[in-house]
Amino acid sequence: MAKKLYVGGLSYGTTEDTLKDTFSQAGTVESATIIMDRMSGRSKGFGFVEMATEEEAQKAIEMFNGKEMDGRSIVVNEARPQEARPRTGGFNRDGYGGGRRDRY
């Protein structure tokens, strides 16, 4: 079963290909994703790597956590499930912005 890893502290210049190539030293990489800022299009400095097996994921943590990649010390650990976040801003179903319904 594939295991997802969080990779933090990435250089803004690190690419998904670089991430995949580096982590392939620990085993089969199912996917490598760098999280990008929607506004600037620039890396947020972290990403996720999905390894094919639990054993390969543990090997990747041991091999790369605290090591240098593209001039930066990276953090590698098991990814936690994304927590539900309350919606902020935006529009309600009626087309109006947030706020109290009794105001309009």
pLDDT tens for 11-61 read 999 999 999 999 999 999 999 999 999 999 999 999 999 999 999 999 999
Contact 10, 69 (CB under 8 A): yes
At residue 102, the pLDDT reads 56
Phi and psi, residue 43, nearest 5°: -60, 145
At 101, is the secondary structure helix, strand, or coil?
Answer: helix
Sign, CA dihedral 46-49-54-59, equals: negative
Percent of the chain whose pLDDT exceeds 90? 74
Verdict on whether the full-model pTM lies above 0.75: yes
Average pLDDT over all residues of the chain: 87
Q: Is the pLDDT of residue 88 over 90?
A: no
Domain ranges of the chain: 3-77
User: Where is average pLDDT lowest: 12-16, 43-47, 77-81, 94-98?
Assistant: 94-98
Domain 3-77 CATH class label: alpha beta
